[in-house]
Structure 1
Amino acid sequence: MNIQTVTFNLCFPGQYYDELTKQHYNLNRYYNPEFGRYMEAAPERV
């Protein structure tokens, strides 16, 4: 039997941490803590 480690990168609702890119997904855009800013512009509200 092979047992593997499973990592859940979930934070608050609507947020996710991507281990591969080291960025945080927050609802509609990515945040990079190394740069201290979002990587996309804020989405327009309709």
Structure 2
Amino acid sequence: MRVRKRITNIYVQRTRKPFWVICQDLERDVFMSATEAQIYGIIDLIATE
């Protein structure tokens, strides 16, 4: 439980989304494209060739 809360807090800091939004999103099995992950705030840049 502590690890899950810590991971959630990291996502809250990184994405600047409310805690409850991150908790709901972590409960779902959602696969994001690189662009979607960038919009969500999980990644900064998308590497291209």
- Normalising by structure 1, we get a TM-score of 0.23
Structure with the largest fraction of helix: 2
Structure with the largest fraction of strand: 1
Q: Taking CA–CA contacts closer than 8 Å with sequence separation of 6 or more, which of the two structures ends up with the larger relative contact order?
A: 2
- State which structure, 1 or 2, has the greater radius of gyration over its C-alpha atoms: 1
- Normalising by structure 2, we get a TM-score of 0.22
